[in-house]
Amino acid sequence: MSFADSVSKPKTLSRGLGQLEAATLVVGGIIGTTIFLVTSDVAQIVGSPFLVLLTWLVAGLLAGIAALCFAELSASIPQTGGTYVFLKRAYRSDLVAFSFAWMMCFTYGTGAVAVVAILAATFLMPVLQALNIFSGEHINLVAVTLIATLTALNVSGIRQGGMAQNILTALKVALIFALVLIPLFLADLQPIATLVAPATGGSSSNVLQNIGTALILCLFSYSGAYFVTHVAEEVRDPQKTIPRAIILGFLLVMCLYFILNVTYLVVLPFEQVQSSPRIASDVMAIVLGPTGALVTAFAIFCSAVGVLNAQLLNYPRIIYAVANDGLFFKCIGNIGERSRTPTNAIILIGVLASIYALSGSYSRILTVVAFVSHFFITLAVVAVIVLRIREPDLPRPYKVWGYPGTPILFILVSVVYLGNLLVTKPVGAITGLLIVLAGLPVYWYRKRELART
């Protein structure tokens, strides 16, 4: 069986996504709840407003380089499964590609869905408490309910998911503009000089290590630019549509993130930035009072729902592609007769994400998934170089800017970042690796079954 045959997918998926849906999948997939929440954690780690902004900027540049690389790969190989297909073609290895898919199914993808669902529930809780509906102890139950609802929506059809994504992304972008403009016009601002204040606590020798630790949170907040690559066969004119959506969408997100963090730092004293559990809500509470905080919390909850929708649009397509290659259970590759969506794959991701959501807090899940997820993203960036050398004649409607310097820069920084994770978060990194290795028996079993047919 030729390579082309091994990665071809049944042509029964519906091309229900256009340029608008592709762009909102990128923007909506990146902007979730973490940008409204984790700046306080970043501030605690790095110790100064300047280092907070620097950390977000470094994370944006790193994630931006990766986004450009995914834009080139998706334009050249617009197939369902995205990164799974890129890895398989670049490394000519079922095992590497399968390991990525297993990681997405059982570690990063489902863990990321759980993280966003928990954060969404966290922002919804103040609203529910104000209405005397739920108390904080029900956060995990609310998170699972959200996952189940959006799983059902995406099972119903790609058009329904795409329309929901358009609405939710428009809402979250409008929210960010409101979070920036209202406080800047109505609040008493901190002096601009505070943005370059020195770090408090710790020694200068720990600055790089602290930034590396804080990057875990920031890089997760930037993840999602590659979402649209996984639904390539459901996008119209994917060679042009997907790269354009990735580039323009990521630039918009990076600008919004930076100005939003500047707003946090000039509206709130830095000590309050470090201690605020819901920093965006606290900023709005200053100018609009308790009602403003509740309204903001609900709007951020809506933003999180947009990310959940984007995740359940794309993560299942990865494991669906693996099943169509015969490397996972055949039933996962089934497509609904009426919905024309990978129904069983979507349900599988929803169930596994619900288990994660019941297991613990978002910070614990992030620690487990950070190492393995960035490792495979780095492999995908390396794939750009590998394919440039091995397949120079491969059609490339878009080529990554600054090649080979930009991918090499990303790879070098990623090596340092991954090394820092091994030193500072060894238990999480090893746990993530063990989950990936747990997929090997399944891989060997499926390869043996394929050899018999």
| In-domain check, residue 7 | no
Residue range 308-319, pLDDT digits in tens: 888 898 899 999
Alpha-carbon torsion, ordered 209, 211, 214, 216, to 10 deg: -80
pLDDT category at 203 given cuts 50, 70, 90 is very low
The answer to whether residue 235 scores a pLDDT higher than 90 is no
Note whether residue 126 is domain-resident: yes
Residue 246 lies in a domain: yes
How far is the C-alpha of 231 from the C-alpha of 318, rounded, in Å?
9
Q: According to the model, what pLDDT value does residue 229 have?
A: 85
Over residues 349-362, the mean pLDDT reads 83
According to the model, what pLDDT value does residue 129 have?
81
Q: Which domain holds residue 320?
A: 14-452
As a whole number, mean pLDDT of residues 363-371 equals 68
Q: How many domains, in total, are found in the chain?
A: 1
Is residue 335 in a domain? yes
pLDDT at 362 over 60: no
- For residue 292, the surrounding DSSP H or E stretch is helix 279-324
Per-residue pLDDT, averaged over 350-374, amounts to 77
Q: What pLDDT, on a 0 to 100 scale, did the predictor assign at position 73?
A: 92
Q: How would residue 366 be classed by pLDDT, with cut points 50, 70 and 90? A: low
Q: What are the backbone dihedrals phi and psi of residue 274, each rounded to the nearest 5 degrees, phi first?
A: -70, -30
Cα(154)–Cα(25) distance, integer angstroms: 13
Q: What is the pLDDT of residues 36-46, one digit of tens each?
A: 878 998 998 88
Is the model more confident about 223 or about 391? 391
pLDDT (tens digit, 9 = 90+) per residue, 192-202? 767 776 665 54
User: Which of 121-125, 303-307, 365-369, 412-416 comes out lowest in average pLDDT?
Assistant: 365-369
Average of pLDDT values for 403-429?
Answer: 87
pLDDT 10s digits, 264-317:
998 888 888 888 877 888 888 888 888 887 888 887 888 889 888 888 988 999
pLDDT of residue 385: 96
Summarize the confidence of residues 77-92 as an average pLDDT.
Answer: 90
Residue of 127, 124, 159, 107 whose CA lies nearest to 438: 107
| 4 has pLDDT over 50 | no
**Quick one: pLDDT at residue 238?**
84
Q: What is the C-alpha to C-alpha distance for residues 254 and 346, in angstroms, rounded to an integer?
A: 29
pLDDT tens-digit profile of 16-70?
Answer: 778 888 888 888 888 877 788 789 989 988 888 999 999 999 999 888 888 889 8
- All residues at 6 or more sequence positions from 154 whose CB lies less than 8 Å from its CB, including other chains: 160, 161, 309, 312, 313, 316, 341, 346
Tell me whether residue 3 is in a domain.
Answer: no
Residue pair 106/328 in contact by the 8 Å Cβ criterion: no
What's the mean pLDDT in 443-452?
87
Q: What 3-state class would DSSP assign to 50?
A: helix
Q: Compute the average pLDDT of residues 234-245.
A: 86
Residue 8 lies in a domain: no
Whether the predicted pLDDT of 8 surpasses 50: no
Instruction: Measure the CA–CA gap between 165 and 341, rounded to whole angstroms.
Output: 16
**Residue at 123 is within a domain:** yes
Where do we find the tokens 């103040």? Answer: 126
CATH number assigned to the domain comprising residue 428: 1.20.1740.10
Q: What is the mean predicted confidence (pLDDT) over 172-184?
A: 84
Q: Could you tell me what percent of the chain has a pLDDT over 90? A: 22
Q: Determine contact, residues 418/374, Cβ cutoff 8 Å.
A: yes
Does residue 204 register a pLDDT over 60?
Answer: no
9 three-state secondary structure = coil
How far separated are the first and last CA of the chain, in Å rounded?
Answer: 11
Is residue 9 domain-resident? no
pLDDT for position 11: 47
Q: How much is the pLDDT for 379?
A: 94
pLDDT at residue 10 tops 50? no
For residues 92-119, average pLDDT: 88
Please tell me the pTM assigned to this model: 0.81
pLDDT tens figures, 158-170 = 777 778 888 888 8
Q: Is 79 exposed, middle or buried (0-12, 13-18, 19+ CB in 10 A)?
A: buried
Mean pLDDT of the chain: 84
Mean pLDDT, residues 417-438: 85
